[in-house]
Structure 1
Amino acid sequence: MVGMRERKKQRTRRALIEAALRLFAEKGYEETTLAEIAAEADVSTRTFFSYFASKEDVVFFDSEVRMERILDLVAARKPDEPLPGLLLRIVRESLSQAAEDEGPPLRDAPLRMDLVMNVPALQARALHLLFDSQLRLARALHDAYADLLDPVDAAAAVGALTGAAKLAVMVSIGRGDSMEQAVAAAVRAAEVALRGLDSLGGT
């Protein structure tokens, strides 16, 4: 059970995230200061730094949590689960968790994507996080299927899956689809990519 102190910390963190995203939408990312975010959340700038090291960290506030969940899914796979089945389950469960989480991960996805596409510093950070997460997942898959996958095969599987799903989401949101439609597009793209992975993992 989460204690009162932890609930207060969660509320403060959520307030900072929502304040930052609101100000980024209203004023622009570069024009928004840390002091303004803190004031909007009714906390001090010092308190901001207790939760985030920079404005960039706010935009990518859920990246590490989502990555840890994915790695947990791989670690907990059934011994006889085929690789394509596991990868599709990762996509579906990751999107489902994002939709069910308290807060704005899916609701504010269009704004966050727009920021990443238009702010150079965020573009660089997004690429770094993408490559890092893909390498971590590839290593986890290689460990899980060490008798079936070599490191290159694991990397190819991860690249095909994440590339298809992420690009599908971007195109879907870019044409004005709802987040539910974007999620469905990601799953459909993952299924297309996975049909090309039938030769991996002994499937």
Structure 2
Amino acid sequence: MATGDGAPLGLRERKKQETRAALSWATIRLSVERGWDAVTVEDIAAEANVSVRTFRNYFSSKAEAVVARHIDRMLHVADDLRARPADEPLPEAVTHAVLARFAPEPGADRSPRSREFLSQWVKGIRLMLTEPDVQGEFFKADLVVQRELATAIAERIGTDVARDIYPSLVAAATGAAATVAMDHWLRSDPTVPIGVILSDALDRIWAGLPVP
């Protein structure tokens, strides 16, 4: 784990990020299992084995905690883009950076029982994402992510977001592709791997969105 400039994190900062991630996962997991309104901040803190005060130090609400995983993942896309080979064309570099953050965990269970669990999990996520507070936090997070990704793109192509609209356009299109792909994945039946959908979405964008 590293900072945005590639330097390794210190122990204290690493522990803070681990606590943040644990709280975000606990919020998502409990909300999917019990329903949004049935989960309290006290429940989340207990699930993550921390105090309510610690939760409040990281997040102002359940919705902010839910969105934390999304924003952290997408900010890492910008970090990954900066680490791609300098001679790699921008479309390939952006696509690789995005897909790397949506790849399945190594050793993921693909058994029928696991697929049934995934189906139930997706239904829970879908319901949680209908909550207005969660939708609002996603909107705010996407603005932050787009700015950071646009900056990374500008650095890569040797321009400046203050005078060139191109990096911001690419960042916005990339973020839209991720959002649409995730929504399509949540609604697909049977479930299609998110990486397949996202790769297709990015390919279409880079091709100029030709009419099928």
Do they fold alike, i.e. is TM over 0.5? yes
Distance 1:154 1:67 in 2: 16
User: Residue 99 of structure 2 corresponds to which residue in structure 1?
Assistant: 92
Distance 2:69 2:145 in 1: 13
User: Residue 6 of structure 2 corresponds to which residue in structure 1?
Assistant: none
TM-score, reference length from structure 2: 0.69
Change (3 A) 1:65 1:12: closer
User: Residue 127 of structure 2 corresponds to which residue in structure 1?
Assistant: 114
Contact 2:181 2:201 in 1 (8 A): yes
User: Residue 189 of structure 1 corresponds to which residue in structure 2?
Assistant: 201
Distance 1:134 1:11 in 2: 24
Among the aligned pairs, what percent are the same residue? Answer: 30
Change (3 A) 1:30 1:155: same
1:25 aligns with 2:32: yes
Ranges in structure 1 where 5+ consecutive residues have no aligned partner: 198-203
Match of 1:66 among 45, 57, 73: 73
SS, match of residue 88 in structure 2: coil
- How many residue pairs end up in the alignment? 190
SS, match of residue 78 in structure 1: coil
SS, match of residue 189 in structure 2: coil
Contact 1:165 1:187 in 2 (8 A): no
User: Residue 55 of structure 1 corresponds to which residue in structure 2?
Assistant: 62
SS, match of residue 105 in structure 2: helix
User: Deviation digits for residues 2-37 of structure 1, max 9, x if unmatched?
Assistant: 999999878766664454334323443234221232
Contact 1:166 1:186 in 2 (8 A): no
Ranges in structure 2 where 5+ consecutive residues have no aligned partner: 2-8, 109-117
1:152 aligns with 2:193: no
SS, match of residue 151 in structure 1: coil
User: Residue 200 of structure 1 corresponds to which residue in structure 2?
Assistant: none
User: Residue 115 of structure 2 corresponds to which residue in structure 1?
Assistant: none
Distance 1:148 1:22 in 2: 40
Compute the RMSD of aligned alpha carbons. 3.8
SS, match of residue 38 in structure 1: helix
TM-score, reference length from structure 1: 0.72
Amino acid at match of 2:207: R
Contact 1:169 1:182 in 2 (8 A): yes
Change (3 A) 1:169 1:188: same
Contact 1:77 1:86 in 2 (8 A): yes
Contact 1:165 1:186 in 2 (8 A): yes
User: Deviation digits for residues 22-61 of structure 1, max 9, x if unmatched?
Assistant: 4323443234221232344454323433554421232123
Distance 1:110 1:157 in 2: 31
